[in-house]
Structure 1
């Protein structure tokens, strides 16, 4: 089983309103290694319409995967090293616009796998016949290497997929804040 990330509906949890200072944000949608193009001054601010309860995964409208140091450690335990995921540190500011002491990272999935089952998935295409949006996602599991736990869909790189094995490891490690949509369910 595979999952995609979802935004939380729980208004007591912290929710990132905006990221400030990211140069070339479109590269993060494509899974391009940012390296030195990612400034050390990137900041994220919490949305005042939500709460201030910090979790290990922070929902946001940017489609990014902001994770805590604790969640990063679990990713690394599962073999998600710098070849597969780029961990980009940023400063998080609370609702009072004060810097949070806890370290967070954007997990930039670098691995891309061609694995969408286009005959089963509900997809919309743009004028160039590229996938624009996915309403329901089904994957061809045989195309996914067993060690791939956090990756982008090569046909639609803005979508990041997480394996059942990683989800289970995150749950047993008491990682908080994740809301996931299982494969085959409506993404909207």
Structure 2
């Protein structure tokens, strides 16, 4: 099986989110893959940045928090997979402060997989949390450590990064999903 690093590129023409939802307690859980439960507000909304030109909305919305903010179309495709995802519904607020009439949600992928090839990957460890990576320059996975059913997951040392199996990526592409990008493993990257 083959895997890629899932990215949501912040292209100039796209709407971008740079402000956190109000009322989120323990927002760090969203970056670590830990269940939010009632720590996430039921009426959550993200305003599009007024500091950027882009307004176009895609199926994956770029944001500065490394969240997978996805359309209903993506949600339906991911719900058909055996994935452990906590769905956190959100509203998107356009640049004229109106609620966009399209449902979105955070696809909060739960847990991590311990599968990084530490000898072949290139990274700097965090001085604050030495078990975590601060920066990744090359990511190599040990595919034999990845559970077969995990077609979308986070890695243990850097849970802000999402890894997607190529067959799931192909399903998303075949469905015409927009706003999705990828980086190759075992290649120069900057995460």
Q: State the partner residue of 1:20.
A: 21
State the shift of 1:157 in Å.
1.9
State the shift of 1:6 in Å.
2.6
Q: State the partner residue of 2:107.
A: 107
Q: Distance in 2 between matches of 1:107 and 1:178?
A: 14
Q: Distance in 2 between matches of 1:76 and 1:50?
A: 33
| Residue among 166, 169, 179 paired with 1:164 | 166
Instruction: Provide the TM-score with structure 2 as the length reference.
Output: 0.90
Q: The residue matched to 2:120 in structure 1 has which SS?
A: coil
Pair 1:79 & 2:82 matched: yes
Q: Distance in 2 between matches of 1:129 and 1:162?
A: 25
Q: State the partner residue of 2:60.
A: 57
Instruction: Provide the TM-score with structure 1 as the length reference.
Output: 0.92
Pair 1:5 & 2:9 matched: no
Work out whether residues 85 and 111 of structure 1, in 8 Å CA contact, stay in contact via their aligned partners in 2.
Answer: no
Work out whether residues 2 and 163 of structure 1, in 8 Å CA contact, stay in contact via their aligned partners in 2.
Answer: yes
Work out whether residues 19 and 42 of structure 1, in 8 Å CA contact, stay in contact via their aligned partners in 2.
Answer: no
Say which structure is richer in strand.
1
Work out whether residues 10 and 16 of structure 2, in 8 Å CA contact, stay in contact via their aligned partners in 1.
Answer: no
RMSD: 1.5
State the shift of 1:40 in Å.
1.1
| Residue among 70, 87, 90 paired with 1:67 | 70
Judge which range, 45-54 or 101-110, deviates more: 45-54
* Moved >3 Å (runs of 4+): none
| Residue among 38, 41, 51 paired with 1:39 | 41
Q: Unpaired segments of 5 or more residues in structure 1? A: none
Q: How many residues align?
A: 185
Pair 1:121 & 2:121 matched: yes
Q: The residue matched to 1:161 in structure 2 has which SS?
A: strand
Q: Distance in 2 between matches of 1:75 and 1:182?
A: 21
